[in-house]
Amino acid sequence: MISNIEAIPAFSDNYIWTLFNGNSAAVVDPGDASAVESFLNKNNLSLESIIITHHHFDHTGGIKDLASKWKPKVYGPKGGHIKGIDSELSENSIITILDTEFHIFETPGHTLDHIAYYSKDIGSLFCGDTLFSGGCGRLFEGTPLQMFDSLNKFTGLPEETKVYCTHEYTLSNLTFALEVEPNNVDLKNYFEKVTALRASNKISLPTSILLENKINPFLRTSVDQVKENAENYVKKKNLQPVEVLAAIRDWKDNF
């Protein structure tokens, strides 16, 4: 069973999550092979598996070099469009990595191929660029409705589930979230906490389903203040939850 999960920082704000079971490791979305290599060396780990959430280069760029050195099993979304994937996954696929079971969700929105990995055994969700702490992925390929449905697959998971997002976007997301929901006390407290963490250059992740349900405007499209401010932004009344999501996504893109 997986006993440790650690973040390897990469590029300007990516995290490559590394899962350990003894000296065996798996990495999630290795965009940068050299960052992974030095982490494996330093911690005396051998790479058994790579898991991929979507096709963007900052999540896949290291597959080729890592695969040729370690010959790991490489999991990722179906479709044959990501080079180096040898096990293609889709909704409800179940895989076992490092003696730990993972359930696959298809989560289109940020991209159409996006998938997420959830393990009940270790209470952990690897959500790629679908959910961020205080935010969600930009809609590069999918529709607001697809993102809405994808996020809804996460909100009902056990509250204590830890959420391993792949970018350090938390502080900027919370700055925006406070515009959408200025009266949310949990959000204000979390903003203070993350401000302090980032001031000392500490990671703000993982987050949890419990916390995100309380503070993330993209999961709170039915909350009165979120809805009202979305309506003010688009200058339209009676928005449905998915329209609220579309409005605040557009607002955030222009923030």
Residues of the shown chain interacting with Zn ion in the complex, contacts defined by CB under 5 A = 56, 129
- CB 193 to Fe ion: min, Å: 24
40 residue type, one letter: L
158 residue type, one letter: P
- CB 96 to Fe ion: min, Å: 26
* Helix or strand (DSSP H, E) at 227: helix 224-234
- CB 83 to Zn ion: min, Å: 17
Q: Which of Zn ion, Fe ion, none does residue 37 bind (CB under 5 to 8 Å by kind)?
A: none
Under the rule (CB under 5 A), what is the footprint of Fe ion? 58, 129
- CB 57 to Fe ion: min, Å: 9
Residue 129 or 181 having the CB closest to Fe ion: 129
Residue 54 or 227 having the CB closest to Zn ion: 54
Q: Which of Zn ion, Fe ion, none does residue 181 bind (CB under 5 to 8 Å by kind)?
A: none
Residue 114 or 227 having the CB closest to Fe ion: 114
Residue 41 or 57 having the CB closest to Zn ion: 57
Distances in Å between the Cα of 131 and the Cα atoms of 98, 152, 171, 233, 237 are: 24, 11, 14, 22, 27
The alpha carbon of residue 209 and the mean position of all alpha carbons in its chain are separated, in whole angstroms, by 12
What whole-number distance in Å separates Cα of residue 134 and Cα of residue 31? 23
Residue 163 or 178 having the CB closest to Zn ion: 163
Residue 56 or 220 having the CB closest to Fe ion: 56
| Three-class DSSP category at 97 | strand
- CB 112 to Fe ion: min, Å: 15
Residue 32 or 129 having the CB closest to Fe ion: 129
Strands 87-89 and 115-119: what pairing?
A: unpaired
- The token pair at 249 is 């996504």
| Three-class DSSP category at 135 | strand
Distances in Å between the Cα of 242 and the Cα atoms of 1, 115, 170, 222, 228 are: 38, 20, 23, 9, 14
Strands 207-208 and 162-165: what pairing?
A: antiparallel
- CB 31 to Zn ion: min, Å: 10
Q: Which of 81, 80, 39, 90 is nearest to 57 (CA)?
A: 81
- CB 252 to Zn ion: min, Å: 15
Q: Which of 155, 143, 150 is nearest to 243 (CA)?
A: 143
